[in-house]
């Protein structure tokens, strides 16, 4: 078997093992439960949720913000590392692209789950008011979905052509699909030139688009004058948070994929080391914005602001607040600063903690503010003063997370998770360089 | 048996009193009515309405509650004679306004004092109550005077029936505003020997087209009640309409979106989606080449 055949064999999509089948089935069951809960929510109305007059944004919106944040990973690992000529990105980019696509698709779906009347979705377009950040969101999410798809698809073309040939005898049906999706890719100079030019445009486009996406997401909150949201820091704060959330998700999934598909030769400790350093940078940036976001208001706090901050620092939200701050920002900085901390397993654990913290961080951003309105809460049932998601909300939200994981799982199942052509080109280059060297 | 019934007379008397007291208490508890308190104020607007502001409240337990939707009858009392004037009904807040067509509807006594009695006849839960109000008729004559380019309001307070000026009486000067009148001048403006006050009007008070409605008020006088005179005069600064209703603002409806917000985001959307179209065309080109 020559090097190229080995490469294709190693990197071509593989059938699920028993664990993969169990994993996929579990996700499908969770999704079905979520769909049932959602149908019930549509029939009975949002009374089945625990959102009321005050906590009118709940777990759905925090989940939406989490998905939007996670989608930032494509821009970081693919576009920024590409434009800065960081070649170590190669085995990581495809997974980053897949996460980006899954996350932004689920962000779009999640926001619809929060609508009391989903049948009126079209009104968002028909009656769009450009002054509203909601309209900006309605514009940017489909745009980002398109760019995320193109970001994944263009570099895939040569690999799809390779897979077409690879599966010609083993699985003709699959081979046919790969053939169709490869758009007759033959690797001609014209095709290569068109592809390179397109990828360059996408890489350039996705950076401002993802910055706009994260900023609009932040402005959804900061344009409301609410305590805890009314901050000029919010755009940068959200971008930094997305930087952390995206990289956390990337590290976690890379580790799992590497283990399951036995890709230790391709995704090496060197890559974990590099991405670990990038995560430290992200966490430090996020820490800086967190200090800006909490310390300055604490120093100059009005009575209402102080009440809000006390709830976070020492009140009813203190445990989740400090857990996500320490677990999601401080702990990764400390551990990943050490070389041993940037080994695959510690990185996986840190990545997982970062992802969980990122999710809860959005919950901390969304909920406490809503429970601190300017006018006192009065004349309403006691339960309206608090918010914790109902069973319906948990079921639906868990289903969206499962759906994102299912999209990732299916794409990992049917697409080469490490770019085959590019890896081959780089190895060829490496070989050539070594030959030239004395 | 006889032995058992042989109670001490003092004991029997004590038990009887206790039982009787208890039965009365029970009777009282069943039929206890709450006391109603009526309040009434006489208000005269020069060249305008003459009316009485009436309020009814009852003390229930330790709370003062408004007595709503009850009828209050008004009587003019003259020399032990009661002339019914009409009735009014309290609103949800226990308040009511009883308007007189004019003061001639009332008969004064020999001292030119008018007495009006407001009476609530009681019902199943509330005791009857009444409130008597006595007042004389007073007039305020107000006008604007300009002296050395300064505007003044001059007002004279007189007893209408005797036509004698009312001296050393406090009159309030205020400008009519949307929610609450704005006091101007000194805190206490005492009338002089002619029953007159003379108060400068501050410059720069905004009004629609510069017209101010100035109020001269004799407030809740024991003898004359409340008397108000209004003078409209162009002595203010025309107020500037600050409405952005017809402007293109961030808070306008969609048909009044600011131009910059229509132009720049649409340019960005056009460029972005134009590039998407270009990239998709590239996909076609790749498939055809």
Q: pLDDT tens-digit profile of A322-367?
A: 999 999 999 999 999 999 999 999 999 999 999 999 999 999 999 9
Dihedral-angle region of residue A393 (phi above 0 means left; psi in -120 to 50 means alpha; beta otherwise)? alpha
Taking residues A387-406, what's their average pLDDT? 97
DSSP A77: I
Could you tell me if residue B281 is left (phi over 0), alpha (psi between -120 and 50 degrees) or otherwise beta?
Answer: alpha
Partner residue opposite A130 with nearest CB, options B262, B278, B280: B262
Helices A133-166 + A189-222 axis angle, to 10: 150
Mean pLDDT of chain A: 92
Q: Is the CB of residue B180 less than 8 Å away from at least one CB of chain A? A: no
Question: How does DSSP classify residue A175?
Answer: H
- Res A283: pLDDT: 97
| Whether this model's pTM surpasses 0.90 | no
Residue B18 has a pLDDT of 60
* Residue B194 φ/ψ, nearest 5 degrees: -95, 5
Residue A432 reports pLDDT greater than 60: no
Asked if A248 and A354 count as a contact pair (C-beta separation under 8 A), the reply is yes
pLDDT at position A2 is 66
Checking if the pLDDT of A246 tops 60, the result is yes
Question: Rounded to an integer, what distance in angstroms lies between the CA atom of residue A272 and that of residue A343?
Answer: 6
What does the DSSP 8-state code read for residue B44? E
First to last CA, chain B: 129
Interior/surface letters A373-400, b for 16+ CB within 10 angstroms, e for the rest: eeeeeeeeeeebeebebbebbebbbbbb
Sorted by where each starts, the structural domains of chain A and their CATH numbers stand as 15-373+380-420 (1.20.1630.10)
Query: pLDDT value at position B1?
Result: 40
A198 Cβ under 8 Å from any chain B Cβ: yes
Determine the pLDDT at residue B175: 95
Cross-chain residue pair B282–A190, CB shorter than 8 Å: no
Q: Look at residue B264 in the predicted model and tell me its pLDDT.
A: 95
Digit-coded pLDDT (tens) for A124-181 = 989 999 999 999 999 999 999 999 999 999 999 999 999 999 999 989 999 999 999 9
Which segments in chain B show pLDDT lower than 70? 1-31
Higher pLDDT, B184 or A78: B184
Chain A residue with minimum CA distance to B269: A139
B278 touches chain A (CB under 8 A): yes
Could you please report the per-residue DSSP string of B254-266?
Answer: GGG--HHHHHHHH
From the CA of B261, how many Å to the nearest CA of chain A? 7
Query: By CA distance, what is B250's nearest residue in A?
Result: A131
Q: Which residues pair with B157 in a beta bridge?
A: B140
Joined tokens for residue B105: 């509807």
d(CA B38, CA B129): 7
Does the beta carbon of A185 lie under 8 angstroms from any beta carbon of chain B? Answer: yes
Confidence label for A437 from pLDDT (cuts 50, 70 and 90): very low
Res B27: pLDDT: 44
Confidence of residue A1 (pLDDT cuts 50, 70, 90): low
Task: Provide CATH code, domain B36-135.
Answer: 2.60.40.1940
In this prediction, the answer to ipTM > 0.90 reads yes
Identify the weakest region by mean pLDDT among A156-160, A191-195, A263-267, B17-21.
B17-21
Assess A151–B contact: CB distance below 8 Å, yes or no.
no
**Residue contact B289–A190, C-beta within 8 A:** yes
Encode pLDDT of B176-225 as tens digits. Answer: 998 999 999 888 899 999 999 999 999 999 999 999 999 999 999 999 99
> What pLDDT is stored for residue B9 in this prediction?
65
Q: Which long-range contacts (CB under 8 A, 24 or more apart) does A190-198 make?
A: A190/B289, A191/A157, A191/B286, A191/B289, A194/B282, A194/B285, A194/B286, A194/B289, A195/A154, A195/A155, A195/A157, A195/A158, A195/B282, A195/B286, A197/B282, A198/A150, A198/A154, A198/B279, A198/B282, A198/B283
Domain residue extents for chain B: 36-135, 138-238, 244-273
Q: Over 60: is that where the pLDDT of A436 sits?
A: no
Closest Cα in chain A, distance from residue B179 (Å): 22
> Average pLDDT in the A277-294 region?
96
The domain B138-238 is placed in CATH, from the list 3.90.800.10, 3.40.630.10, 2.60.40.10, 1.20.1090.10, at: 2.60.40.10
pLDDT of residue A225: 86
- Cα separation, B80 vs B83, in Å, equals 10
Answer yes or no: do B257 and A198 touch at CB < 8 A.
Answer: no
Quick: pLDDT tens for A91-137.
Answer: 999 999 999 999 999 999 999 999 988 999 999 989 999 999 999 99
What's the pLDDT score for residue B28?
46
Strands B212-221 and B138-147: unpaired
User: Does pLDDT of A271 surpass 70?
Assistant: yes
Residue B39's alpha-carbon distances to B55, B68, B80, in angstroms, are 5, 14, 22
Closest Cα partner for A325 from A299, A358, A285?
A: A358
**Residues A188, B258: C-beta atoms closer than 8 Å:** no
Q: Percent of chain A having pLDDT more than 70? A: 97
| B254 touching A (Cβ < 8 Å) | yes
């Amino acid at each position: 078997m020559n090097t190229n055949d080995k490469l294709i064999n190693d990197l071509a999509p593989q059938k699920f093992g028993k664990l993969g089948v169990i994993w996929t089935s579990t996700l499908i069951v969770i999704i079905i439960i979520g769909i049932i809960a959602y149908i019930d929510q549509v029939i009975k109305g949002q009374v089945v949720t625990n959102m009321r007059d005050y906590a009118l944004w709940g777990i759905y919106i925090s989940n939406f913000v989490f998905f939007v944040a996670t989608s930032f990973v494509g821009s970081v690992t693919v576009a920024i590392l590409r434009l800065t000529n960081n070649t170590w990105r190669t085995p990581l980019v495809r997974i980053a692209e897949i996460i980006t696509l899954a996350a932004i698709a689920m962000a779009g779906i999640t926001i619809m789950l929060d609508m009391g009347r989903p049948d009126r979705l079209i009104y968002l377009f028909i009656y769009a008011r450009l002054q509203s950040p909601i309209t900006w969101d309605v514009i940017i999410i489909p745009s980002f979905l398109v760019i995320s798809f193109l970001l994944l698809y263009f570099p895939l073309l040569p690999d799809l052509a390779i897979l077409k040939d690879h599966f010609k005898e083993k699985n003709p049906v699959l081979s046919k699909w790969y053939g169709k999706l490869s758009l007759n890719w033959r690797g001609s100079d014209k095709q290569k030139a068109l592809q390179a030019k397109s990828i360059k445009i996408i890489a350039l486009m996705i950076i401002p688009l993802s910055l706009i996406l994260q900023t609009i997401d932040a402005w959804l909150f900061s344009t409301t004058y609410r305590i805890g949201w009314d901050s000029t820091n919010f755009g940068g704060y959200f971008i930094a948070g997305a930087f952390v959330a995206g990289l956390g998700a990337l590290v976690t999934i890379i580790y799992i994929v590497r283990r399951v598909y036995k890709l230790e030769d391709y995704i090496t400790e060197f890559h974990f080391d590099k991405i670990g350093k990038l995560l430290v940078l992200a966490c430090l940036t996020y820490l800086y914005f967190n200090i800006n976001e909490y310390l300055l208001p604490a120093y100059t706090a009005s009575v209402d602001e102080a009440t809000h901050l006390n709830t976070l620092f020492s009140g009813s939200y203190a445990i989740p607040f400090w857990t996500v701050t320490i677990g999601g920002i401080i702990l990764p900085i400390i551990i990943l600063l050490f070389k041993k901390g940037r080994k695959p397993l510690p990185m996986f654990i840190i990545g997982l903690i970062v992802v969980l913290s990122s999710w809860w961080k959005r919950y901390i951003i969304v909920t406490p503010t809503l429970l601190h309105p300017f006018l006192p809460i009065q004349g309403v049932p006691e339960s309206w003063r608090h918010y914790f998601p109902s069973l319906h909300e948990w079921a639906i939200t868990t289903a969206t997370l499962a759906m994102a994981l299912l999209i990732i799982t299916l794409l990992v199942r049917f697409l080469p998770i490490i770019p085959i052509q590019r890896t081959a080109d780089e190895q060829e280059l490496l070989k050539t360089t070594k030959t030239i060297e004395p | 048996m006889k032995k058992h019934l042989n109670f001490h007379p003092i004991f029997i008397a004590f038990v009887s009193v206790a039982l009787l007291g208890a039965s009365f208490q029970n009777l009282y508890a069943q039929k206890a009515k709450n006391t109603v308190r009526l309040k009434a104020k006489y208000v005269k607007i020069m060249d305008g309405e003459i009316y009485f502001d009436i309020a009814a409240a009852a003390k229930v337990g330790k709370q003062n509650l408004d007595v709503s939707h009850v009828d209050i009858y008004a009587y003019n009392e003259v020399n032990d004679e009661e002339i019914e004037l009409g009735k009014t009904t309290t609103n949800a807040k226990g308040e009511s306004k009883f308007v007189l067509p004019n003061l001639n509807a009332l008969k004064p006594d020999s001292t030119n004092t008018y007495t009006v009695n407001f009476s609530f006849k009681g019902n199943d839960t509330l005791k009857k109550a009444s409130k008597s109000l006595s007042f004389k008729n007073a007039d305020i004559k107000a006008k604007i005077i300009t002296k050395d380019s300064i505007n003044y309001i001059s007002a004279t307070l007189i007893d209408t029936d005797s036509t004698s000026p009312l001296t050393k009486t406090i009159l309030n000067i205020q400008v009519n505003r949307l929610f609450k009148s704005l006091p101007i001048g000194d805190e206490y403006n005492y009338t002089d020997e002619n029953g007159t006050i003379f108060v400068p009007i501050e410059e720069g008070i905004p009004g629609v087209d510069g017209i101010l409605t100035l109020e001269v008020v004799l407030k809740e006088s024991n003898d004359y009640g409340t008397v108000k005179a209004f003078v409209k005069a162009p002595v203010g600064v025309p107020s500037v309409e600050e409405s952005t209703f017809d402007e293109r603002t961030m808070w306008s409806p969609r048909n009044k979106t600011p131009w910059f917000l229509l132009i720049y985001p649409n340019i960005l959307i056009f460029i972005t989606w134009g590039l998407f179209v270009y990239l998709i065309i590239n996909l076609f080109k790749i498939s055809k080449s």
